[in-house]
Amino acid sequence: MKLLISLLVVAVARFGQGAETSLLKDKTLVVWVAPANLTQRAGSALTIDDGQSHFDGIIFGEITPQKWMPGSDGFRRTLREQVTWPDETTDGRTFIQMAIVYRGSEATVFRDGQEYVRYTMPNPPQAFGSAVAVLFGRRHLDVLDPEHSFTGRIKDARIYDRALDRATIAALVPGKIAGDLKPWAWWSFADEGLREKTGRFTEIKLIGDVRLEDGCLVLGGKGATVITTASGSDDGKPVSVPKHWSFTSAVPDEVVRSTRLLRERFLADPHRPTWHFCVPEDMGMPGDPNGAFYHNGRYHLMYLYNRSGSGFCWGHISSSDLVHWRHHPDAIGPGNGDEGVFSGGAFVDDDGSAYLSYWMLWGAKGIGLARSQDANFDAWKKLEANPVIKSTEWGVTEVKQPDGKSSFLGSADPSNIWKQDGHYYILTGNLLVLNKIGRATNAPAAEQGDRLYLFTSDDLKNWRYLHVFYERRPEWTDRSEDDMCPSFLPLPSSPAGGRPSGKHLLLFISHNKGCQYYVGSYRNDHFFPDNHGRMTWVDTTYFAPEALVDGQGRQIMWSWLLDNPTGEKEKGWSGVYGLPRSLWLGDDGTLRLRPVKELETLRRHEKSWTSLTLADEATKTLDGVTGDSCELELEIKVGSAQRAGLKVRASAGGEEETLLYYDAARKELVFDSTRSGRDGRKVVERAPFALKFGEPLKLRVYVDKSVVEIYANDRQAIGRRVYPTRADSLGLVLFSEGGRARFKTVKAWDMMPANPY
């Protein structure tokens, strides 16, 4: 540890050589802090140190117990007579704002916006150059005694390069800046973790018991310290991240630092899920899951994203357990006859070659295929025959009939390919045809609403059109809905796979109403739907499905949770998928669904409750569960209750909460996000769901930062995103309204993170 401190001192001093020395003279240090106890001595809530034994800091109890003081090297700018200064009396749970203003030779300390002490410094003010360290915990870089470190919590810390007045300091709010008054350095631990928000300090060193909890930096004492420094050149100037470097040249240090900072920022992001798949970086907008296939014991999944500096690409991940994913090189992107790629599917042929079917961008391109034959499917080559189905305009193919008239087919969003009796088949979506023809008030009935076009091939290069794949039924979908992102696969007879059921599932979206499906029979190259269902009801949050059949015969699907909050570009990432769902045919011929069993490997710290009876308007808080990363199983006898269920991401006072419940009167599964937070889609989503006579309500609930999913009796599910802003929005609360409900069993597990960052 002594060696680490020494190295940091040398590093800061080296960067300070030849640097600007008048950057900070008049200044203001501000911190929102809760000391763990009032007996601790000589630790710092916030210090600036030049690495040459000069520092200024907000120090607690060094000269006189229970007193805050401006710390400095050898007390050169510190008033030693502190007996008349107010004692600190905070209870250790309440945050106070401490600020020190340095104006010329005058130092003023403020506590919660009120003057604490003012004096003239015994020595001239200290000027700090551009290369300095900022510390939380120990009062300066030379401290080696582990007892001299701050113990407690810090919510926000900042340094201003000017002397602020009392009114300005009193108006400051943690996590926010006041108008044009921007800090010179700023740590907002609730939304940025340990990352310094201005980008001035990029190196982070942790010593001892340092952690982030409930949006705060927690220092456990006994030397616990955070030391942050600026990365720069020897002349003290910042070093920019190189924009151009190759795979064969040396990796610049600045790229390594920047990459590490990005990962650390993602780990501290309060809304980035830890076990739902996230696009690793860049913009997943659109963020469709694509190209799912299973081969040789491994699941492969592609994700559509907009790669900075390139265009729309398919990222590629694979897994052996559906929980932990390996990142591959991007599978396909712009080039070889197209300017980018949109949605499509995947297929593995008899010889083990894998194919991706995709919509070529932009303009009158069509459907393309790419093939991979290497063991890990890392290298993909687009077919020279592309486009294998050619467009005559954007997403549309015009075909001349024998009588000279034109008909129009979709050549967008291809499905997965399947093979039967030596022939290959593929489906194409109809959005662009619907826009061209079917939305007109006098459009022929056959051109209205959702439809798919079936093509066949003997060699995967030459495709011919057969016919419309199924007939739409107006009682299920209306004329405004399209059929895109289709997936067509056989349904198994159980969640474990096993024998085929004899039915097929067609998953798809309409762009105006989200994810939906048909269950039906496939024969004579036609699909005959028996029933229809939806996976989103109030908007389009559950969107763009993609599915595969694995080695057990399970059909497993993913979907993009299309809820893109403000400021995604600035956060460096967007794009989240719902949990992988196992799909099978129920005894009544309708769809069944539940999350895959492999997710249970993430469970830890099981807690359980039994026979909890709640009267009308009664609640029960479930203590001891990590409220932003958990799974719950509930079995409920609804009884006379009109509404029974669970509040998640709930703050103590109910300012923020997400309601998940069964509405017995309306026979609906309900997800109420109207009070879920500041951002996102604030709606009440209602999915049709009726309990049978005497049937208990069996709920499975998953909470993963900004993702909440609820499943009911394997027959219905809702998945959405929520964006709580309060650090205490972690509560889990059972409730009953309109009557009495009995919660027969409740089980809860904390969930281990699975995402790499």
Domains of the chain (ranges; CATH) run: 2-229 (2.60.120), 344-595 (2.115.10.20), 603-751 (2.60.120.560)
pLDDT for res 239:
53
Cβ neighbours for 587, distance < 8 A, ≥ 6 positions apart? none
Structure tokens at 315: 């990222």
pLDDT for res 243:
67
Q: Is 70 exceeded by the pLDDT of residue 2?
A: no
Beta bridge partners of 55: 49
Report cis status (omega within 30 of 0) of the bond before 362. yes
pLDDT for res 139:
94
Side-chain half-sphere CA neighbours of 399 within 13 A:
16
Per the prediction, the chain carries an average pLDDT of 93
**683 secondary structure, DSSP code:** -
CA distance 707 to 718: 11
pLDDT for res 569:
87
Side-chain half-sphere CA neighbours of 450 within 13 A:
29
Sheet holding 526-534, edge to edge: 484-494, 497-510, 514-523, 526-534
Q: Is 50 exceeded by the pLDDT of residue 490?
A: yes
Q: In whole angstroms, how large is the CA radius of gyration of the chain?
A: 30
Mean pLDDT for 415-427 is 97
CA distance 560 to 542: 6
CA distance 683 to 671: 8
Strands 581-585 and 591-595, bridge-based pairing:
antiparallel
pLDDT for res 464:
96
pLDDT for res 271:
94
pLDDT band of residue 142 (cuts 50, 70, 90) is confident
Cβ neighbours for 146, distance < 8 A, ≥ 6 positions apart? 208, 222, 223
pLDDT band of residue 249 (cuts 50, 70, 90) is confident
CA distance 738 to 156: 43
Strands 389-390 and 381-382, bridge-based pairing:
unpaired
CA distance 536 to 718: 7
pLDDT for res 11:
44
Full DSSP string of 701-736: EEEETTEEEEEETTTEEEEEE----STTTTEEEEEE
What are the phi and psi torsion angles at 719 (to 5°)? -125, 130
Strands 573-574 and 282-283, bridge-based pairing:
parallel
How crowded is residue 524: how many other Cβ atoms within 10 Å of its Cβ? 7
Q: Report the range of poorest mean pLDDT among 288-297, 330-339, 483-492.
A: 330-339
Beta bridge partners of 305: 313
- Contact between 54 and 133 under an 8 Å Cβ cutoff? The reply is no
Q: How much of the chain, in percent, has pLDDT values that exceed 90?
A: 81
CA distance 248 to 267: 29
**AA letter at 423:** H
Tens digits of residue pLDDT in 235-247: 444 456 676 777 7
Tens digits of residue pLDDT in 213-242: 888 999 999 899 999 987 554 444 445 667
Q: Is 90 exceeded by the pLDDT of residue 171?
A: yes
Query: Does residue 234 or residue 586 have the better pLDDT?
Result: 586
- Contact between 711 and 594 under an 8 Å Cβ cutoff? The reply is yes
User: End-to-end distance of the chain based on CA atoms, in angstroms?
Assistant: 27
Mean pLDDT for 116-143 is 92
Q: Which helix (H) or strand (E) holds 475?
A: none
Q: Please tell me whether residue 511 adopts helix, strand or coil conformation.
A: coil
What are the phi and psi torsion angles at 480 (to 5°)? -85, -10
311-345 burial string, b = 16+ CB within 10 Å, else e? bbbbbbbbbeebbebeebebbbbbeeebebbbbbb
- Contact between 431 and 409 under an 8 Å Cβ cutoff? The reply is no
CA distance 185 to 284: 31
- Contact between 338 and 358 under an 8 Å Cβ cutoff? The reply is no
pLDDT for res 116:
97
Tens digits of residue pLDDT in 688-737: 999 999 999 999 999 999 999 999 999 999 999 999 999 899 999 999 99
- Contact between 72 and 193 under an 8 Å Cβ cutoff? The reply is no
- Contact between 221 and 149 under an 8 Å Cβ cutoff? The reply is yes
Structure tokens at 264: 């650390």
Report cis status (omega within 30 of 0) of the bond before 387. yes
pLDDT for res 431:
98
Tens digits of residue pLDDT in 665-691: 999 999 999 999 989 999 999 999 999
Q: Is 60 exceeded by the pLDDT of residue 349?
A: yes
Q: What angle do CA 139, 265, 31 make, to 5 degrees?
A: 35
Q: Is 80 exceeded by the pLDDT of residue 342?
A: yes
Q: Can you give 197-257 as a three-state secondary structure string?
A: CCCCCCEEEEECCEEEECCEEEEECCCCEEEEECCECCCCCECCCCCCCCCCCCCCHHHHH
How far does CA 537 lie from the centroid of its chain?
22
Q: What angle do CA 379, 381, 386 make, to 5 degrees?
A: 160
CA distance 701 to 709: 6
CA distance 555 to 550: 7
Q: Is 90 exceeded by the pLDDT of residue 84?
A: yes
Cβ neighbours for 273, distance < 8 A, ≥ 6 positions apart? 576, 704, 705, 706, 707, 755
Structure tokens at 202: 């990029």
Tens digits of residue pLDDT in 546-560: 999 999 999 999 999
Q: Is 80 exceeded by the pLDDT of residue 545?
A: yes
Structure tokens at 119: 């004096």
pLDDT band of residue 190 (cuts 50, 70, 90) is confident
pLDDT for res 16:
42
Q: Is 70 exceeded by the pLDDT of residue 7?
A: no
Q: Is 90 exceeded by the pLDDT of residue 570?
A: no
Q: Which helix (H) or strand (E) holds 267?
A: helix 253-268
Closest CA to 302 of 287, 314, 310, 293: 314
CA distance 638 to 713: 13
pLDDT for res 743:
98
Whole-structure pTM value: 0.78
Tens digits of residue pLDDT in 14-65: 444 434 444 789 999 999 999 999 999 999 999 999 988 999 999 999 999 9
Mean pLDDT for 137-156 is 90
Sheet holding 423-428, edge to edge: 418-420, 423-428, 453-457, 463-468
Cβ neighbours for 75, distance < 8 A, ≥ 6 positions apart? 63, 122
Q: How much of the chain, in percent, has pLDDT values that exceed 70?
A: 96
Q: Which helix (H) or strand (E) holds 262?
A: helix 253-268
**AA letter at 226:** V
Mean pLDDT for 370-376 is 96
